[in-house]
Structure 1
Amino acid sequence: MSWSEVLNGTVRRVVATAQNGLEVVRLGGLETEARATDFRIVERRPMYRLRRYFADDELSPPSGPPVVLVPPMMMSADVYDVTQDQGAVGILHSMGLDPWVVDFGSPDSEEGGWDRTLADHVVAISEIIDRVRRETGRDVHLAGYSQGGMFAYQAAAYRRCRNVASLITFGAPVDTLAALPFGIPGDLAAPAAGFLAEHVFTRLSIAGWMARTGFQLLDPVKTAKSRIDFLRQLHDREALLPREQQRRFLATDGWVAWSGPAVAELLTQFVMHNRMVSGGFVIGDRPVTLAELTCPILAFVGEVDDIGQPTAVRGIRRAARKAEIYQYTMRSGHFGLVVGSIAAQQTWPVTGEWVRWRAGDGPRPQGIEPMQGDEPAVDQTGVSVTDRILHTGASIAEVGVETVRGVLGATAQAVRGSRELTAEAARALPRLVRLGQIQPHTRISMGKLLAEAGERSPRSECFLFDDRAYTNEAVNTRIDNVVRGLISTGVRPSTRVGVLMETRPSALVAISALSRIGAVAVLLPPTEDLAEAVQLGGVATIVADPDHLRVAERLGPPVLILGGGETRVLDIRPDSGTVDLEHIDPDDVPLPAWYRPNPGRANELAFVLFGRFGGRVEAKHVTNHRWALSAFGTATAANLGSGDTVYSIAPLYHSSVVLATLGGAIVGGSRIALSRGLDADRFSTEVHRYGVTVVAYTWTMLRELVDVPDFEFDASHPIRLFIGSGMPRGLWLRTMKRFAPAQVLEFYASTEGAVVLANVSGAKPGSKGRPLPGSTPVRVAAYDPVTRRFLEDEHGLVRECGVGEVGLLLGQATGHEAVNGAIRGVFTAGDAWVPTEHLFQVDADGDHWLMDERNAVVRTRRGLVYGEPIVCALGALEPIDLVVNYAVQVGDEEVAVTAVTLRPGMSLTASDLADGLAELDEDRCPDLIHVVPEIPISTSYRPRRSALRVAGLPNPGARSWYRDDDGRYRRLTKAALAELQGRAAPTHLTGPSVDVPGGG
């Protein structure tokens, strides 16, 4: 080639480059003469415009199954029509389908656009499905790219798949925290997302250029390579034109603004709390879960997609176990899934074939395979090291850029454990510090903490009930309105007001409103002891729901009615004096001069609760400090945070619900989910729909779930923890097996005083654990249950029990509590301790084990028999369901009798009993064991033994056993029973002792 030819070629190249460059500068790109595909706007709303493509095509009008394509929030709807021959709508139409596209427009050019929420987008898609269904008469195939795919999942779940033929998504992450871009660890991303949602995007929206720049930075190597390639080929117009529309779309034209509220909601629900997987994300005021998706799903997965990473995309398998889910894996990055030659060759033809197959018009497309449910390791994203190196390494070599992503990923894994511990400490320390700063006159109460939550996060959900979500702002407004109603009827600080209500939002509001006034909430259990409870609680007024109107009016005090729904009809007698609080306009009630919201101080009475001890009803007085101790202690021990939803299936009047469940959730900033009652089907539905992570129980409540033979509960449930008190060891073990990998956090809390124990580690099922940080110091004092006196040492002080010795649990008097029964001079001169009702022993590790109520110990001729070790030992046997131990008087002595019930279809033998009790000392085993058809259960699910005790000794038979002189259990015969009844021997124990208050 001559020098002149080379020179001429160079000149032509320079001239062509200059001409094309000038065109790019003037027009933003090269003129391709390409035109957008024809479409008609069939629906125009403030939130969207609905496009129907080829609607006016007389030669080929749309007639096949409708496919609605949803763009991401930050991308133009034209992503599905970049070029007609290679775009989605053109290819799908050529395959006989009916393509529709959702156009959300850009918030910066739409009226009210900057105020759009994420829920607005989902509700809009639901409306569009209805419109397309009416227009075509056919169910809709809903498809979405990236966040548009997330919208598609959410909208289908919101509708519970009504009129949705199938879901198709392209690089749509579900398990967002499993694999974030750049390999960012989820436990770093979640708090960062929370900060951005609360402090940045409440004030700032994202312009289109910011969205474009941000996404280009997610793959800077590819962005730099594409720009360099464009510049290198700028002289060759023919080579650039085929890809010019795609380049211009991704470089400039394809990006739209994001509204701040929508971004904040996205970060909060789906990054910070990952509720696409756990369930419980809220659309409007409705909690929604992907667990209710039942339509077929096809997910396109990019092997080298670092934005919608494979592991995150395949999270749909965990989230939607009921659905038939398929995947199509492509060697593509994120944008290549829907735009470009690979998408034209694979994505859209496969999508069309999928729709035909689901419509019964063709076979299953090649390459589509069922998505497997295998869980990846915690350090995997789904993009293999080889794929990442091959895909990005070549680009790096071309543009001369080095990467340290792998090193950063390895470093992140190395510090993951320490970071998680740091995150837990960051939550726990402020709570413990605040608890430690509480003095007798510190203002602290339920009403105050709810008000603080409302000020901190007004739009966050406070509680969920009956498929509705209530925000902190709405709840506090309702509380303040009820406060005015109560004040108008004469309720003042320290007034004792009975609350007689079923579990419902108005019950929670009533309790909180009383706290906000500084009144005392007396939580009345709707039992046969109701009149006695009203008297013991000193109730001056009763707040009841409509269901308890008649019962409340018979109790004597004035009655106020609250709640029951907008359509309720009350039959209030004119002469009854009953007041309907719902008819009081809060704006008409002036606040008196004495009113100060949330005046309750730590040492003031907050609640009166009730329990049954020794066969009688007792009132338990709970101060604000005592409530705060349980609230902060539960939040700390359970590591509750804003991502948790705490589900209460126990009634609100139960002490553990008020002290631990509600208190812990409020302090932890967690959502509270209330249920109308314990039902297996309702439990399964609400756990997924609300995204329940923590379940609160009482006593044997979980039997209703664990032992139901036909109870269907998905193994992918979001529950991580059960918290409560009184669960028998056997049920504890069955619960962990049934709901694995969830753990059990068992508490022991004295209602009066400030003793709180918790088995935080769960390593010793049955143990009550150790005192929580911030709770009062505890000691186990030597105690004689027979004489009901403390045992002294040589100095006249009460002796503290050693390891394994049984004694009475005491809590040190703190000065915060308005309690009776504190005793002084116990372990040192002048000290003050509050006795509990329970006997404990402490093991060598410092863990506390409950032995019995101090008035329930059986005094046999062999010595003392404690009930709880027997319950734990026999309850662990597979055939046994419930166990109770009680005393039957025979002559001058007591006989230790144990009653058990069996699980369905199982039997019990003497050898089973011997194996179960093998670890107990012989003298602490029961004299008699018998199988009974049923053990009565209280309204709080506590096994009752009073009726069995009254019935006396069991009858001889094949399911009754007695312990012979050699310590073996034999079938109880008439002769053996007669011999037992003929025995009579006095019982006595001796030793230095002092009287115990309240022990009689």
Structure 2
Amino acid sequence: MDFSAVTKPVERLLATAQNGLEVLRYGGLETGAVPSPFQIIQSVPMFKLRRYFPPDVRPGAADPGPPVLMVHPMMMAADMWDVTRDEGAVGILHRAGIDPWVIDFGSPDKVEGGMQRNLADHVVALSEAIDTVKTVTGRDVHLAGYSQGGMFAYQTAAYRRSKDLASIIAFGSPVDTLAALPMNLPAGVAAGAADFMADHVFSRIDIPGWLARTGFQMLDPIKTAQSRLDFLRQLHDREALLPREQQRRFLASEGWIAWSGPAISELLKQFIAHNRMMTGGFSIHGDLVTLSDIDCPVLAVVGEVDDIGQPVAVRGIKRAAPQADVYEYLIRAGHFGLVVGSKASNQTWPTVAQWVKWLDNAEEMPDGVVPMGLPSADHPEGGVSFTTRVTHGATAATEMAFGVARSAADALVAANKSARTLVIETARTLPRLARLGQVNDHTRISLGRIMSEQARNLPNGEALLFDGRVHTYEAVDRRINNVVRGLIDVGVRQGAHVGVLMETRPSALVAIAALSRLGAVAVLMPPDVDLAEAARLGGVSEIIADPSHLEAARQLETRVLVLGGGENRDLHLPEDSDVIDMEQINPDVVELPGWYRSNPGLARDLAFVAFTTVGGELVARQITNFRWALSAFGTASAANLGRGDTVYCLTPLHHQSGLLVALGGAVVGGSRIALSRGLQPDRFLQEIRQYGVTVVSYTWAMLREVIDDPSFSLVGSHPVRLFIGSGMPAGLWKRVVEIFEPAQVVEFFATTDGQAVLANVAGAKIGSKGRPLPGAGHVELAAYDADDDLILEDEQGFVRKADPNEVGVLLAHPRGPVDPTAAVKRGVFAPADTWVSTEFLFRRDEDGDYWQVDNRTAVIHTERGPVYGTPISDAVGRLDAVDLAVTYGVDLGGQQVAVTALALRPGGSIPTADLTHALADLPVGNPPDFVHVVADMELGASYRPMAGPLQVAGLPKPARRNSWYLDPDTQTYKTLTVAVWTELSSGQGEPDTAADPS
């Protein structure tokens, strides 16, 4: 009789019971494994620094090898690097001649103050640990991090600008976190949820270790269930279980630690909701950091079937760190399998050891390590396909069913992607437009009021970026209130006109906002104009100046208040000076008077006075709170600004674009405002990456100064999604969107009084001003006869509306106060109606988009008919060789002729046939009589090409390749020769033919 058939099941049952009892009693099977030896080199409250297999430091002892500092994610214990001594990371690296170090952040719930730690604390601590390793070993450090530990490694390298780092090795560490999320969550949904959770959930609670473990396991519930089932099935076979027992116990219980709420909140906000590993501009204790500062070699270990650190998200490092040499090592493993387990011990860690040696002493590059390529724009990489995970898993039927469900969900997401985007944008935009639509003369609204609301709703939100530092809404709001108290202390009252003569800096923004909060009028004085005239036009009673403009302000017959520049600076003021140092006023002792009400400004109230130059004369422009709100809410809506955006203010705050568009849009949108110290091409790329700039403001040809600078070179990715402003020439527009692809341009047109506002939100029609902005009031085009300079009427005597592509005068139905100097018209389209003429000429195409034609007073009346400057500039601007263009009139024998001047790009030239073709089919008006190339074109303060200096020079001179005239017989352009010039220009003087004998 074969007793084995009876005894074997009994033995199996007894073994299962015995092993099961051991698991229940001790949490697992006793393996007899001994942890690797280590020495605590540094112990501070934030971390302990371990050195594994501490070397013999006696003279003549063997070199321990290049140091590798390993970083664990916050929710896992540092022992993950030594789960098994023989097959763990530290043991394998040590046997390969590497010096392994581990940073241990400990369990925050067991350390005093640990549950208040944030992400920045971990980055700064890791940076300190790098300093220690460098000091002890005297060698640059290889920084290796798993999952979030790899994110820490990237962030710390950026924070240090790669100082003392030999390389970064990251295992399954996502960089482009929104490119592919676990469970294939849609990016928009994930970002919104992350923002909400950061503000309203994890700002109040923490995650204990057991919940961290459960959350990790739920990311792949099928694999978790499969592992537990396999363990139970083999519970009778101790020898089969022992090799993986330490790993199982680590994942099942021992390897998980608590996670502080502030750290989770910051992770969700900065790196999920706002994806600032990719865009840059994340804050480390107030310093702004970008991965583009990393320039040491990077090895990204990519899990082919990793559904947590998905390949496309991990490979984001290639675009985020364009200065670094980035390599990848692809391994067919899941997330944890990258660093622990048989594949990790056989593939990952030997490869890492070889990588370190390759960089350290030029040994051969490890097999399988290849330079990382950029994803194709035509074939963007997706997340881990579910079919790949089906092949990788063991329970094919179950996973296949799950895969079918996932595929259906993906199809639904793809089909509704545009709808979801529309819903998200509508949810953000509608409340702004609704609020704007509710504004009337008596509505309390102002810059100071909106900033108060943002500070109340989001006190710790990042508001202001400047010189590499970040300031929160609460800090900015407190500073504004302090300045208000200072102004009250020196006698400034509501309604006072106070000049602001300051550089673009935080103190200037604070001064403007403080005057708004007080209910005074900020007179924004450009430093490069006649300051005495500006003070007179603005009715200035006193001036707030920064130290750099103090002497200029003292030349005026007004009291000077000095603000900013640091509280400890010495102004060197004489004892009898009437200058008041605002920084010396203690706001805590200032008693607020009974008349003071915070933010009293009504929509109809005058809020700012800005200046512009018209015909060489300084003109004051009055801006009401309604005008400011219209631009601010309009910009935020048109650009879809949100808390994830950073608006880069290139224009100074005394310019209307800086005040109304950049600052206004950012404040209303809850976005960060990044102030620049003026347009500096060498700092432009560095700052947009450091600040994580998503929206750049501009005026006219400003961006030409950046992209035409010889040092400009855009390598790798950039965070910019929009350029917003007004007046960008069509040719420059085309070049900007080509260079900064996929960014778009949102071009605005707004009258000074804000009665008419247009915006090209789609950006598809280069040169178009778009359509009326919702909430900005109604506009119409009045049919116009340019020959007689008349607005045309219909049979009933009302103004006739212009037909499609017919030139018309842009009229605006007034909202709010009407400028006393405005051209007001009544009974225009209906009895007793009221309209304001903008005096600008437009055409409206068949789609309803508006195209600017010219200013009514700038039309050139030639014998051939009217010539409009803007359509000509748009047409020739589309020629690749053309940089800038401007059209102006010149008197020739008592008749006006139209001349177009062109500035060419370096090395550019224009064939005559191309010029004729470009100007052959203008949508409205006639082509110019003459076209010529100029060596340089003078730009105004707002970077607008100036026609005045060219107009003074009269007709262009003959030139073989750079001067043309319109042949009236053939309607083509021909070279302007000396003979033709002489015939046409009698009375214009002799041509200068020295440079060009033609």
What residue number does 2:81 align with? 80
**Deviation of residue 979 (structure 1)?**
4.3
Counterpart amino acid of 1:965?
P
Contact 1:396 1:402 in 2 (8 A): no
CA 1:423/1:397 → structure 2, altered by over 3 Å: closer, same or farther?
Answer: closer
What residue number does 2:894 align with? 892
Counterpart amino acid of 2:860?
V
Moved more, 480-489 or 860-869: 860-869
What residue number does 1:998 align with? none
**Deviation of residue 12 (structure 1)?**
2.6
**Deviation of residue 982 (structure 1)?**
5.5
**Deviation of residue 10 (structure 1)?**
2.7
Unmatched runs of 5 consecutive residues or more in structure 1: 985-1000
**1 CA distance for matches of 2:202 and 2:923?**
65
SS at match of 1:128: helix
**Deviation of residue 445 (structure 1)?**
1.1
CA 1:530/1:58 → structure 2, altered by over 3 Å: closer, same or farther?
Answer: closer
**Counterpart mapping for 1:443-842 below 5 A:** 443-566=444-567, 568-783=569-784, 790-816=791-817, 820-821=821-822, 822-842=824-844
**Deviation of residue 775 (structure 1)?**
0.7
Counterpart amino acid of 2:614?
F
From 961, 964, 977, the equivalent of 1:961 is 964
Contact 2:561 2:581 in 1 (8 A): yes
**Deviation of residue 698 (structure 1)?**
0.2
What residue number does 1:991 align with? none
What residue number does 1:914 align with? 916
1:198-226 alpha-carbon deviations (Å, 9 max, x no partner): 10000011000000001111111111111
Moved more, 971-980 or 253-262: 971-980
SS at match of 2:474: helix
Moved more, 642-651 or 141-150: 642-651
Q: Is 1:294 matched with 2:298? A: no
1:838-875 alpha-carbon deviations (Å, 9 max, x no partner): 22222222221111122222222333222111211222
What residue number does 2:48 align with? 49
SS at match of 2:464: strand
Counterpart amino acid of 2:536?
Q
**Deviation of residue 973 (structure 1)?**
4.5
CA 1:236/1:401 → structure 2, altered by over 3 Å: closer, same or farther?
Answer: farther
Q: Is 1:38 matched with 2:43? A: no
Counterpart amino acid of 1:969?
Y
SS at match of 2:263: helix
Contact 1:614 1:855 in 2 (8 A): no
Counterpart amino acid of 1:18?
A
**Counterpart mapping for 1:148-547 below 5 A:** 148-360=149-361, 362-375=363-376, 380-392=381-393, 394=395, 404-547=405-548
Q: Is 1:928 matched with 2:930? A: yes
Moved more, 918-927 or 773-782: 918-927
1:930-964 alpha-carbon deviations (Å, 9 max, x no partner): 22222211121111122222333333444333334
CA 1:378/1:510 → structure 2, altered by over 3 Å: closer, same or farther?
Answer: farther
**2 CA distance for matches of 1:779 and 1:614?**
28
SS at match of 2:593: coil
Counterpart amino acid of 1:867?
G
Moved more, 638-647 or 911-920: 911-920
Aligned length: 983
Contact 1:233 1:239 in 2 (8 A): yes
**2 CA distance for matches of 1:774 and 1:760?**
15
**2 CA distance for matches of 1:884 and 1:400?**
66
**Deviation of residue 330 (structure 1)?**
1.1
SS at match of 2:558: coil
**2 CA distance for matches of 1:409 and 1:125?**
39
**Deviation of residue 377 (structure 1)?**
7.2
**Deviation of residue 7 (structure 1)?**
3.0
**1 CA distance for matches of 2:678 and 2:178?**
33
**1 CA distance for matches of 2:953 and 2:386?**
71
1:725-751 alpha-carbon deviations (Å, 9 max, x no partner): 011111111211222221111100011
SS at match of 2:178: helix
**2 CA distance for matches of 1:515 and 1:551?**
24
Counterpart amino acid of 2:592?
L
SS at match of 1:572: coil
Counterpart amino acid of 1:25?
L
What residue number does 1:6 align with? 5
**1 CA distance for matches of 2:663 and 2:174?**
33
Contact 1:312 1:381 in 2 (8 A): no
CA 1:679/1:399 → structure 2, altered by over 3 Å: closer, same or farther?
Answer: closer
SS at match of 1:888: strand
**1 CA distance for matches of 2:540 and 2:13?**
95
**2 CA distance for matches of 1:410 and 1:573?**
75
**Deviation of residue 62 (structure 1)?**
6.5
Counterpart amino acid of 1:315?
G
**1 CA distance for matches of 2:610 and 2:476?**
24
Contact 1:221 1:401 in 2 (8 A): no
Contact 1:176 1:271 in 2 (8 A): yes
What residue number does 2:946 align with? 944
Counterpart amino acid of 1:292?
D
Q: Is 1:857 matched with 2:856? A: no
CA 1:197/1:876 → structure 2, altered by over 3 Å: closer, same or farther?
Answer: same
Moved more, 329-338 or 714-723: 714-723
**2 CA distance for matches of 1:658 and 1:275?**
26
CA 1:398/1:635 → structure 2, altered by over 3 Å: closer, same or farther?
Answer: closer
SS at match of 1:509: helix
What residue number does 2:991 align with? none
Contact 1:549 1:561 in 2 (8 A): yes
1:805-843 alpha-carbon deviations (Å, 9 max, x no partner): 323212111135565433333322222222224222222
1:371-391 alpha-carbon deviations (Å, 9 max, x no partner): 121247788534244421211
CA 1:753/1:235 → structure 2, altered by over 3 Å: closer, same or farther?
Answer: closer
Counterpart amino acid of 1:876?
R
**Deviation of residue 615 (structure 1)?**
3.5
Q: Is 1:876 matched with 2:875? A: no
CA 1:362/1:594 → structure 2, altered by over 3 Å: closer, same or farther?
Answer: same
**Deviation of residue 441 (structure 1)?**
1.0
Counterpart amino acid of 1:875?
G
**Deviation of residue 428 (structure 1)?**
1.0
**Deviation of residue 878 (structure 1)?**
2.0
**Deviation of residue 297 (structure 1)?**
0.8
1:630-670 alpha-carbon deviations (Å, 9 max, x no partner): 11111111111111111121111111221111111112121
SS at match of 2:920: coil
Contact 2:807 2:924 in 1 (8 A): no
**1 CA distance for matches of 2:348 and 2:543?**
65
Counterpart amino acid of 1:906?
G
1:145-178 alpha-carbon deviations (Å, 9 max, x no partner): 0000000010001101000000001111111111
**2 CA distance for matches of 1:222 and 1:793?**
77
Counterpart amino acid of 2:646?
T
**Deviation of residue 425 (structure 1)?**
1.0
**1 CA distance for matches of 2:129 and 2:579?**
49
Contact 1:438 1:602 in 2 (8 A): yes
**2 CA distance for matches of 1:561 and 1:783?**
52
What residue number does 1:988 align with? none
Moved more, 491-500 or 909-918: 909-918
Counterpart amino acid of 2:966?
R
Unmatched runs of 5 consecutive residues or more in structure 2: 989-998
**1 CA distance for matches of 2:820 and 2:115?**
55
Contact 2:810 2:837 in 1 (8 A): yes
What residue number does 2:19 align with? 20
CA 1:233/1:578 → structure 2, altered by over 3 Å: closer, same or farther?
Answer: same
SS at match of 1:241: helix
1:186-205 alpha-carbon deviations (Å, 9 max, x no partner): 11111011110010000011
SS at match of 2:709: coil
**Deviation of residue 912 (structure 1)?**
3.3
**Deviation of residue 509 (structure 1)?**
1.2
What residue number does 1:970 align with? 974
**2 CA distance for matches of 1:753 and 1:636?**
16
